[in-house]
Amino acid sequence: MQYVSTRATAESSARNPNHFSDILLGGLAPDGGLFLPAEYPRVTGAELDAWRTLPYAGLAYEILRKFATDIPDADLKALTAKTYTADVYRNARAGDNPADITPLRELERDGDKVLVLQSLSNGPTLAFKDMAMQLLGNLFEYALAKNDDELNIFGATSGDTGSAAEYAMRGKRGIRVFMLSPHKKMSAFQTAQMFSLHDPNIFNIAVEGVFDDCQDMVKAVSNDLSFKARHKIGTVNSINWARVVAQVVYYFRGYLAATTSNDQKVSFTVPSGNFGNICAGHIARMMGLPIDQLIVATNENDVLDEFFRTGRYRVRKSAETFHTTSPSMDISKASNFERFVYDLVGRDPERVRALFRKVDTEGGFDLSGAPGSDGDEFAKVAGYGFASGKSTHADRIATIRNVFEKSGLTIDTHTADGVKVAREHVRAGVPMIVLETALAAKFNETIVEALGRNADRPSGFEDIESLPQKYVVMKPNVDEMKTFIAAHTGL
Ligand SMILES: *Cc1c(COP(=O)(O)O)cnc(C)c1O
CA 275 to ligand 1: nearest atom = 9
Mutate to test the pocket of ligand 1, among 247, 283, 329 (most ligand atoms within 8 A of CB): 329
pTM value is 0.96
How many Å lie between the centroid of ligand 1 and the Cα of residue 386?
A: 18
Q: Does residue 223 have a pLDDT over 90? A: no
Work out the pLDDT band at 434, boundaries 50, 70, 90: very high
CA 414 to ligand 1: nearest atom = 11
Label each residue of the chain as H, E or C.
CCEEECCCCHHHHHHCCCCHHHHHCCCCCCCCCCEEECCCCCCCHHHHHHHCCCCHHHHHHHHHHHHCCCCCHHHHHHHHHHHCCCCCCCCCCCCCCHHHCCCEEEEEEECCEEEEEEECCCCCCCECHHHHHHHHHHHHHHHHHHCCCCEEEEEECCCHHHHHHHHHHCCCCCEEEEEEEECCCCCHHHHHHHHCCCCCCEEEEEECCCHHHHHHHHHHHHHCHHHHHHCCEECCCCCCHHHHHHHHHHHHHHHHHHCCCCCCCEEEEEECCCCHHHHHHHHHHHCCCCEEEEEEEECCCCHHHHHHHHCEEECCCHHHCCCCCCHHHCCCCCCCHHHHHHHHCCCCHHHHHHHHHHHHHHCEEECCCCCCCCCCHHHHHHHHCEEEEECCHHHHHHHHHHHHHHHCCCCCHHHHHHHHHHHHHCECCECEEEEECECHHHHHHHHHHHHCCCCCCCCCCCCHHHCCCCCEEECCCHHHHHHHHHHHHCC
How many Å lie between the centroid of ligand 1 and the Cα of residue 87?
A: 23
Give the number of other Cβ atoms within 10 Å of residue 470's Cβ. 15
Tell me, yes or no, whether 461 lies in a domain.
no
By DSSP bridging, strand 233-234 and strand 364-366 are: unpaired
How many Å lie between the centroid of ligand 1 and the Cα of residue 369?
A: 30
How many Å lie between the centroid of ligand 1 and the Cα of residue 271?
A: 7
How many Å lie between the centroid of ligand 1 and the Cα of residue 289?
A: 22
How many Å lie between the centroid of ligand 1 and the Cα of residue 273?
A: 6
Distance CA 30, CA 26 (A): 10
Distance CA 404, CA 409 (A): 5
Tell me, yes or no, whether 155 lies in a domain.
no
Tell me, yes or no, whether 346 lies in a domain.
yes
Q: Atom 8 in ligand 1: which residue has the minimum CA distance?
A: 274
Mutate to test the pocket of ligand 1, among 274, 296, 332, 420 (most ligand atoms within 8 A of CB): 274
| Ligand 1, CB cutoff 6 Å, lining residues | 127, 129, 160, 238, 271-277, 328-329, 414, 437-438
Tell me, yes or no, whether 92 lies in a domain.
no
- Span 159-170, average pLDDT: 92
Q: Atom 1 in ligand 1: which residue has the minimum CA distance?
A: 328
Digit-coded pLDDT (tens) for 398-418: 999 999 999 999 999 999 999
For the domain that residue 368 is a member of, what is the CATH number? 3.40.50.1100
CA distances from 97 to 57, 103, 419, 462, 484 (A): 15, 7, 22, 21, 44
Least trusted range by pLDDT, from 123-132, 287-296, 312-321, 343-352 = 312-321
Digit-coded pLDDT (tens) for 167-198: 999 999 999 999 999 998 888 898 999 999 99
CA 331 to ligand 1: nearest atom = 8
What is the predicted pLDDT for the residue at 490?
A: 75
Question: What is the chain's mean pLDDT, rounded?
Answer: 95
What is the predicted pLDDT for the residue at 400?
A: 98
CA 247 to ligand 1: nearest atom = 7
Q: 291 pairs with which residues across the strands?
A: 266
How many Å lie between the centroid of ligand 1 and the Cα of residue 328?
A: 5
Tell me, yes or no, whether 272 lies in a domain.
yes
Q: Which residues are catalytic?
A: 129
What is the predicted pLDDT for the residue at 302?
A: 96
Q: Does residue 491 have a pLDDT over 80? A: no
Q: How many domains does the chain have?
A: 1
Q: Atom 11 in ligand 1: which residue has the minimum CA distance?
A: 437
Tell me, yes or no, whether 361 lies in a domain.
yes
What is the predicted pLDDT for the residue at 290?
A: 98
Digit-coded pLDDT (tens) for 275-332: 999 999 999 999 999 999 999 999 999 999 999 999 999 999 878 889 899 999 998 8
Tell me, yes or no, whether 309 lies in a domain.
yes
Cβ-contact 161, 155 below 8 angstroms: yes
> 366 is in which domain, residue-wise?
99-125+248-451
Mutate to test the pocket of ligand 1, among 328, 330, 415 (most ligand atoms within 8 A of CB): 328
Tell me, yes or no, whether 335 lies in a domain.
yes
By DSSP bridging, strand 202-207 and strand 175-182 are: parallel
How many Å lie between the centroid of ligand 1 and the Cα of residue 392?
A: 16
Please enumerate in sequence order all residues whose Cβ is within 8 A of that of 180, keeping only pairs 6 or more positions apart, or say none: 155, 156, 157, 205, 207, 214, 217, 218, 481
What is the predicted pLDDT for the residue at 318?
A: 79
CA 412 to ligand 1: nearest atom = 13
- Span 102-110, average pLDDT: 97
What is the predicted pLDDT for the residue at 209?
A: 87
Q: Atom 14 in ligand 1: which residue has the minimum CA distance?
A: 328
CA 274 to ligand 1: nearest atom = 8
CA 129 to ligand 1: nearest atom = 15
How many Å lie between the centroid of ligand 1 and the Cα of residue 152?
A: 24
What is the predicted pLDDT for the residue at 109?
A: 96
Mutate to test the pocket of ligand 1, among 34, 120, 126, 128 (most ligand atoms within 8 A of CB): 128
Dihedral (C-alpha) 53, 54, 55, 61: value to the nearest 10 degrees?
A: -160
Distance CA 139, CA 123 (A): 17
